[in-house]
Amino acid sequence: MSIFQSLIRKEVLHLLRDFRTITVVLVMPVVLLLLFGFAISTEVNNIKVVAVVEQHTDETKQIIDRFRNNSYFTFEGIVPYHEVESILRKGRADAAIVFRTEDGKLSHQIIVDASNTNLALTSTTYLESVICSATGIPVVTNTLYNPQLKSAYNFVPGIMGMIFILICAMMTSVSIVSEKETGTMNLLLVSPVRPWTIIFGKLVPYFLLSCIILILVLVLSYTVLGLPFSFSVINVIWVTILYVILALALGLLISTIASTQVSALLVSGVMFMIPVVLLSGMIFPVENMPLALQWLSCIIPARWYISAMRVLMVQQLPIGYVLTEILVLSGMTLAVLVLAIKKFNAKK
């Protein structure tokens, strides 16, 4: 067996025998995907609506019928105007529609409980579209790429951006630093093994582990979560591999800075996890951030990866549409690798 093979064998055995870690690593992506895909949903269902009608006409009847038949709404009945506030306050309804007729013309007012702003905004949009379609001024909205507005479509790229940083950067850095702590790294450094072989002996097993996780995530996304499957999956894989290499390089860089496993965990946790969640566009759209934060988000690798994944996985556009993202990620990979190797060698 060559030196390189025996180092990889060592790492794989080590990983396989660390039962808890390997379980967490394989179970976490599945749990996250299912949680975000099903349980945590930004879709709004069962909006409870009441109506105030000053003067019943065919038009008001027609609109109310539409609410009754719409699966997104539960129509709670017609109420007098002065009761609206108390009904909303008691939570018996989420929104009320007030119909007034002046000079034979129907006008409407929407009163909505905005204690949850997201819910309020979404409900208002739904309400308006129902009213508009009934009053004959139809607003045609085409939701492209995600016609049912499924939240899973939005979260899958984000979760992938998070998982690979977590597994590659955190696990590699912790495993290298733990060898520094126990002193085995010193044994390898005094041995005839070249530093390059040591580095790759560490990176390759985690790269393979990431590939297994990628397969797991893709299978789940395309089956259970129902993402549209097409040939663009090949591009998804390529760009993810690039991102994994970048994350591994980041892990290597952290391991050269941190001297204990705890500090490696903290550095990867604080420096990567929080920005990934807050600034990458995974939850909060980058376009809505203050300009300064938009600039800051440019240095977060996950921002570029997630944006590329949205294009490739959800929109399923050809790889040409994510050239900027690929270029930025490649540049980052190169820079981080050079920095990490420089720091690794600087110890002499």
Partner 1 sequence: MAKEIVISVKDLTKKFGSFTAVDHLTLQVRRGEIFGFLGANGAGKTTAMRMLCGLSFPTSGSGTVAGYDILRQAEEIKRHIGYMSQKFSLYENLTVWENLNLFATIYGMSAKSIREKTDAAFKTLGMENMRNVPVKEIPLGWKQKLAFTAATLHSPDVVFLDEPTGGVDPSTRRKFWEMIYRASSEGMTVFVTTHYLDEAEYCNRISIMVDGRIKALDSPEGLKRQYLAGTMDEVFRIVAKDAKRGD
CA 282 to CA 295: how far, in whole Å?
A: 16
| Half-sphere exposure in the Cβ direction for 178 (13 Å, CA) | 11
Of 57 and 178, the one with the shorter C-beta distance to partner 1 is: 178
Q: Would you mind telling me the total number of residues written for the chain in this entry?
A: 348
> Rule CB under 8 A: is residue 147 a binding residue for partner 1?
no
Of 5 and 125, the one with the shorter C-beta distance to partner 1 is: 5
Say if CB 161 and CB 310 are below 8 A apart. Answer: no
**Selected binder of partner 1 within 42, 86, 116, 184 (CB under 8 A):** 184
CA 96 to CA 340: how far, in whole Å?
A: 60
**Selected binder of partner 1 within 144, 190, 292, 346 (CB under 8 A):** 190
**Selected binder of partner 1 within 189, 224, 271, 273 (CB under 8 A):** 189
The CB-of-3 to partner 1 minimum distance in angstroms stands at 5
Structure tokens belonging to residue 340: 């990490």
The CB-of-288 to partner 1 minimum distance in angstroms stands at 47
> Rule CB under 8 A: is residue 346 a binding residue for partner 1?
no
Cβ atoms < 10 Å from Cβ of 283: 13
CA 75 to CA 64: how far, in whole Å?
A: 8
**Selected binder of partner 1 within 62, 186, 223, 259 (CB under 8 A):** 186
Cβ atoms < 10 Å from Cβ of 116: 12
Of 62 and 184, the one with the shorter C-beta distance to partner 1 is: 184
The CB-of-307 to partner 1 minimum distance in angstroms stands at 39
> Rule CB under 8 A: is residue 348 a binding residue for partner 1?
yes
> Rule CB under 8 A: is residue 182 a binding residue for partner 1?
yes
DSSP state string for 198-217: HHHHHHHHHHHHHHHHHHHH
DSSP 3-state of 78:
strand
> Rule CB under 8 A: is residue 3 a binding residue for partner 1?
yes
The CB-of-4 to partner 1 minimum distance in angstroms stands at 10
> Rule CB under 8 A: is residue 191 a binding residue for partner 1?
yes
- Scan residues 192-211 and list those touching partner 1 (CB under 8 A): 192-194
Residue linked to tokens 């990567």: 272
Of 90 and 347, the one with the shorter C-beta distance to partner 1 is: 347
Of 319 and 341, the one with the shorter C-beta distance to partner 1 is: 341
> Rule CB under 8 A: is residue 90 a binding residue for partner 1?
no
Of 14 and 66, the one with the shorter C-beta distance to partner 1 is: 14
Q: 203: buried, middle or exposed (CB in 10 Å: 19+, 13-18, 0-12)?
A: buried
> What are the residues whose beta carbons fall under 8 Å from the beta carbon of 138, sequence distance 6 or more?
132
> What are the residues whose beta carbons fall under 8 Å from the beta carbon of 206, sequence distance 6 or more?
167, 168, 171, 172, 175, 248, 251
Taking contact as CB under 8 A, which single stretch among the options 150-158, 177-185, 261-269, 286-294 is the one that binds partner 1?
Answer: 177-185
**Selected binder of partner 1 within 147, 183, 285, 320 (CB under 8 A):** 183
Q: Under the rule (CB under 8 A), what is the footprint of partner 1?
A: 1-3, 6-7, 9-10, 13-14, 17-18, 182-184, 186-194, 348
